[in-house]
Amino acid sequence: MEFGVVFPHNEIGTDPGAIKAFAQGAEGLGATHLLIYDHVLGADPDRPGGWSAPYDKDTAFHEPFTTFAFIAGVTERIDMITTILILPQRQTVLAAKQAAQVALLSNNRFRLGIGTGWNEIEYQGLNVDFSNRGRRQEEQVDLMRRLWTQDSLTYSGEFHTIDAASIKPRPNEPIPIWFGGSAPALLRRCGELGDGWIPLMGANDSARACIEQIRRHREAAGRSWDGFGIQAQAQYAGGNPDRWGTHAEKWRTMGCTHLAIATHNAGETDVDGHLSRAEEYLGVVR
Task: Report pLDDT for 245.
Answer: 97
Q: What is the DSSP string of 179-245?
A: EE---HHHHHHHHHH-SEEE-SS-SSHHHHHHHHHHHHHHHHTT--STT-EEEEEEESTT--HHHHH
Task: Report pLDDT for 134.
Answer: 97
**Per-residue confidence of the chain (286 residues) as pLDDT tens digits?**
999 999 999 999 999 999 999 999 999 999 999 999 999 999 999 999 898 898 999 999 999 999 999 999 999 999 999 999 999 999 999 999 999 999 999 999 999 999 999 999 999 999 999 999 999 999 999 999 999 999 999 999 999 999 999 999 999 999 999 999 999 999 999 999 999 999 999 999 999 999 999 999 999 999 999 999 999 999 999 999 999 999 999 999 999 999 999 999 999 999 999 999 999 999 999 9
- Grouping H, G, I as helix, E, B as strand and the rest as coil, residue 128 is coil
**Bridge partners of residue 230, in order along the sequence:** 197
| Residue ranges covered by each domain of the chain | 2-285
CATH no. of 2-285? 3.20.20.30
Task: Report pLDDT for 218.
Answer: 97
pTM (2 d.p.): 0.95
- How many CB atoms neighbour CB 178 within 10 A? 24
Task: Report pLDDT for 108.
Answer: 98
8 Å CB contact between 199 and 171: no
**Bridge partners of residue 177, in order along the sequence:** 112
Task: Report pLDDT for 148.
Answer: 98
Closest CA to 40 of 157, 167, 129, 125: 125
8 Å CB contact between 189 and 218: no
